[in-house]
Structure 1
Amino acid sequence: MGVVIRRAGEGDRERVVRLLDTAFRDDPVSGWVFPGEEYRRSTHHRLMAAFTDIVLAEGRIDLTEDGSACALWMSVPAGDHGEGEDDGPAQVRRAVDPANERVELIGRLTADVHPTGRDHEYLWMIGVAPGRQGKGLGTALIGSVLDRCDREGLPAYLEASSERSRRLYHRLGFAPAGLPLALPDGPSMWPMWREPRPGGTA
């Protein structure tokens, strides 16, 4: 496909935050966490910044060379929810929007359904600029890590936040991992798991 991918560093932080803010501002889950267009416009980027900082410090962010798409990955050992310490969701809430309990709740709910039995790669988020969606960038970003998972015999996990993303992940070999997570008075998320393929992702 000719998509050039590199690992993002601290110098890419603002670019990644802007990209995630733009890519997820109209996402159903973002709309639930930050209800109301004006509120979301003024606050949503803080959550994306918190996620970016966590993954820059503890995981890996893959970025297309033109800056139009990125993927946030965490390597999660068996027994870990992939959310850091138990008070991680509370810390994020304090940093992002202390009065908004949904910022903390989304972290706790996703941690509760996160598989813990095996080492795995966790796709925390993948964002593609609205004007570049549907061009195969997301598939290229995910595929580069899934190829490594196949070589190393590692499964992968994610939570799909929309029907569109769920269809993409299904095509890449992810299958439902338990029941959908229904957010209180909000949309659903779909935990999905992918076993490594000995022959690769193709």
Structure 2
Amino acid sequence: MAIASNDLAVRPATEADADRLIAVLAEAFHDGPVADWLIPDPEQRRAVYYRYFRDAFLHGLKHGEVYTTSDQSAVTIWHPHLEPTPTKPHQRLETLETIAGAHAPKIVLLEEMFDTFHPDEPHHYLAYVAVDPQRQSRGIGTAMLNHYHRRLDQIGLPAYLEATDMRSRQLYLRLGYTAGPPMVLPTQGPTVWRMWRGAPNATTRSPFPPTRPRRRSL
């Protein structure tokens, strides 16, 4: 069912949206400090990103919640994390090697760091929000996030994400997130900001949870 959000029709995405929304994800994330660090060559990056975001989109449909707009100009992928989620590192490594080939090690490293510092407290995780580059700076992404945030406030749950540049960090601060301890990617990588939008209470929102790095083993 489509829901109007600030004059923007937001609806659940389906497999029929895959081709268009995977393109939106790949193009929206093609440029930026993390993208440059992961895959320096832009053409190789574009090919890998289309495969990577196809996997992310289909995984989101199966295990999370994916939303788009009536014109398919934007997409969000959320994952409820109501309890610590077990991972299958060997299986994920094989998947990423198929998707990214020689670029897989840095993507594995990025995902491992994100998982290691992921909060254990119940929350919903914003894995991706992407707007068609031709439609950016029109408030579409903000409207989609506000649509989901209202739902989280109604059920009393926080939201968590990683901001990969200063512009997105500032946007999330305006939307009620607070910044936790950042992560600096190795081998001269960029800074990633961990962001938390606490659950509402009588006077404020729940604070950023304590950082407890998870022990991982491959």
TM-score (normalizing by structure 2): 0.84
Please tell me whether the aligned partners of residues 76 and 144 of structure 2 are also in contact (alpha carbons under 8 angstroms).
Answer: yes
The C-alpha deviation readout for 1:56-113, integer Å capped at 9, x for no partner, is 11001110111111111000122237xx534464144123113221121111011011
Provide the C-alpha distance between the structure 2 equivalents of 1:78 and 1:27, rounded to a whole number of angstroms: 32
Instruction: Report the alpha carbon displacement of residue 45 of structure 1 after superposing the two structures with TM.
Output: 1.2
Change in Cα spacing, 1:106 to 1:62, as seen in structure 2 (3 Å) is same
The C-alpha deviation readout for 1:152-174, integer Å capped at 9, x for no partner, is 01011000011111111101111
1:123 is matched with 126
**Aligned match for 1:108, one of 91, 106, 112:** 112
**Aligned match for 2:151, one of 148, 154, 157:** 148
Please tell me whether the aligned partners of residues 17 and 72 of structure 2 are also in contact (alpha carbons under 8 angstroms).
Answer: no
Change in Cα spacing, 1:69 to 1:127, as seen in structure 2 (3 Å) is same
Provide the C-alpha distance between the structure 2 equivalents of 1:112 and 1:33, rounded to a whole number of angstroms: 18
Instruction: Report the alpha carbon displacement of residue 197 of structure 1 after superposing the two structures with TM.
Output: 2.5
1:7 is matched with 12
**Aligned match for 2:182, one of 180, 183, 197:** 180
Q: Give yes or no for the alignment of 1:73 onto 2:78.
A: yes
SS at 1:173 equivalent: coil
SS at 2:150 equivalent: helix
Provide the C-alpha distance between the structure 2 equivalents of 1:13 and 1:61, rounded to a whole number of angstroms: 11
Q: Give yes or no for the alignment of 1:93 onto 2:100.
A: no
Please tell me whether the aligned partners of residues 151 and 198 of structure 1 are also in contact (alpha carbons under 8 angstroms).
Answer: no
**Aligned match for 1:191, one of 188, 194, 205:** 194
Q: Tell me which moved more, 122-131 or 42-51.
A: 42-51
SS at 2:153 equivalent: helix
**Aligned match for 1:60, one of 52, 57, 65:** 65
SS at 1:144 equivalent: helix
**Aligned match for 1:139, one of 131, 136, 142:** 142
Provide the C-alpha distance between the structure 1 equivalents of 2:94 and 2:9, rounded to a whole number of angstroms: 35
SS at 1:97 equivalent: helix
SS at 2:194 equivalent: strand
**Counterpart residue type for residue 13 of structure 2:** A
5+ residue gaps, structure 2: 1-5, 203-218
Identity percentage over the alignment? 34
**Counterpart residue type for residue 184 of structure 2:** A
Please tell me whether the aligned partners of residues 69 and 129 of structure 1 are also in contact (alpha carbons under 8 angstroms).
Answer: yes
Provide the C-alpha distance between the structure 2 equivalents of 1:68 and 1:10, rounded to a whole number of angstroms: 16
Q: Tell me which moved more, 145-154 or 36-45.
A: 36-45
2:54 is matched with 49
**Aligned match for 2:169, one of 166, 170, 174:** 166
**Counterpart residue type for residue 150 of structure 1:** D
TM-score (normalizing by structure 1): 0.90
Please tell me whether the aligned partners of residues 67 and 75 of structure 2 are also in contact (alpha carbons under 8 angstroms).
Answer: yes
Provide the C-alpha distance between the structure 2 equivalents of 1:99 and 1:42, rounded to a whole number of angstroms: 13
5+ residue gaps, structure 1: none
